A and B are shown apart, each in its own frame.
Chain A
């Protein structure tokens, strides 16, 4: 279980997160929606300490952690429980597909090398890229790279995986593959928080949808609540706009 309490973050004068609180139960798939600049990425980054929040607490796995004052050791401890999947994959360019997956296991978790490789090969197989294990990222397509990125996160056995627009850098024909892989991650019972603009994915996979705007959570609930019975005006407007855009896509 992960709980965020009163998370605040400013960039200079710009208040990007204004008191965000959120609860994620084990196995939850939370989809984070919101217009550009609403603070979705920043929220994910604060959870993983890629950004230091100005204020806020996090309870993870029973540990109560201050997002502003946590020291390096605590941060590393949190990162062992929280994996991150990047929009532009973020694979280590100097490491092969397999090494990308084993790196964290060997160096951060101190798992014996042979065991880590075994685990890495297992996960590679699971994402269907066994034959690419010795390829460098520059030799892989975007979709393959993102699947390795997901494999890297899954191999770490995290409590939760944070996805920041995992498919938005991909060619349209590769999006489906990656989304169905993320669905399989959910089926493994790993909790996830996913920022995405793929509404059909959200409807199908999420059990909780959170709508953010202007640095606050405007509304949250089941996909049914949010997509079919939104209460807030801002949510309705946003959904109308994206659904309108999605419909228009077919005519382009």
Chain B
């Protein structure tokens, strides 16, 4: 089979038009997922009764299921219960009027919580107990300690795995094509249905992804450098 550069170009430009969708789904799910994951991590870390057991169960179950299955189950529930939810909220929208991307937001947001919350929880655990106690000893409340001392120390620790979690989300977006969401990969394959240049289509999708992720990794590297400001290598001060 010949590799056709023209097809690659066509596929690339077709795919890139859907970069917005991929980025939008990723961004929304990362932002909401991070906030929710932080809450889950804190609830579990402080062992809030009932809620922490509930979240632990959710995380365990969720981590044991392939994301593809979660998307398909999510889709089924979406189709079956859309009307019920809409009615309960006293709205008058029809499922066909709503962009299926909404499902993408929901599934990916929920899907990212287990991994990110585990990242955060691990980082919280790695902080020396004395840091918490020192906060309390000078009269800070739990919230103040978290905001001013614990979380600022947690994020740099969590950051490398957090970036991995984020990449996981972005790379998981093509799975949403199984429920009919058009994103970068499906976009790249659009011209292929005519030309049968699937290899070029996949290559184009890979290329777009590679560019996107290189960009993210570089931004991450920059941020990481600044995050580690206070964790300087110890100078000899004697």
Contacts and interface: CB of A to CB of B under 8 A. Distances in A.
Interface string A121-134: 00000000000100
A103 B147 CA distance: 12
A197 to B, nearest CB: 20
A152 B138 contact: yes
B136 to A, nearest CB: 6
Contact of B131 (A76, A93, A96): A93
Given A138-B234, A140-B237, A144-B237, A90 B131 contact: yes
A91 to B, nearest CB: 7
A104 B149 contact: no
Contacts of A92: 131, 134-135, 149
A139 B140 contact: no
Contact of B235 (A49, A94, A107, A139): A139
B231 interface: yes
19 contacts: A48-B136, A50-B137, A76-B139, A79-B139, A84-B134, A86-B134, A88-B128, A90-B131, A91-B134, A93-B153, A94-B152, A94-B153, A95-B230, A104-B140, A132-B237, A136-B231, A138-B234, A141-B238, A152-B138
Q: Which 5 A-B pairs have the closest CB atoms?
A: A104-B138, A108-B139, A90-B134, A84-B137, A90-B130
Contacts, number: 82
Interface string B139-161: 11100100011001100000000
Interface of B: 128, 130-131, 133-141, 144, 148-149, 152-153, 230-232, 234-235, 237-238
B200 to A, nearest CB: 50
B139 A80 contact: yes
A98 interface: no
Contacts of B230: 93-96, 136, 138
Contact of B130 (A86, A94, A132, A140): A86
A25 B134 CA distance: 25
Contact of B140 (A83, A90, A91, A108): A108
A79 B130 contact: no
A96 B229 CA distance: 11
A107 B231 contact: no
A4 to B, nearest CB: 18
A40 to B, nearest CB: 16
Contacts of B138: 79, 83, 103-104, 108, 152, 156
A156 B231 CA distance: 27
B130 A107 contact: no
Interface in A38-97: 48-50, 72, 76, 79-80, 83-84, 86, 88-96
Interface size class of A (residues with CB under 8 A): 20 to 34
Given A86-B130, A92-B131, A107-B144, A139 B137 contact: no
Contacts of B234: 138-139
A138 B140 CA distance: 23
A95 B148 CA distance: 9
B133 A104 contact: no
A95 B149 contact: yes
B149 to A, nearest CB: 5
A92 B147 CA distance: 13
A134 B234 CA distance: 14
Contacts of B130: 86, 88-90
Scoring A79, A92, A156 by chain B CB atoms within 10 A of each residue's CB, the highest score goes to A92
B174 to A, nearest CB: 38
A236 interface: no
A8 to B, nearest CB: 21
A83 B137 contact: yes
Nearest to A88: B130
A118 interface: no
B26 to A, nearest CB: 29
Contact of B137 (A48, A94, A95, A109): A48
Given A83-B138, A138-B231, 14 more contacts: A48-B137, A50-B133, A50-B136, A79-B136, A79-B137, A80-B139, A92-B134, A93-B131, A94-B153, A103-B138, A103-B140, A138-B234, A141-B238, A156-B139
Contacts of A94: 149, 152-153, 230
B221 to A, nearest CB: 21
Given A88-B130, A93-B131, A109 B232 contact: no
Contacts of A90: 130-131, 133-134, 137
A135 B137 CA distance: 22
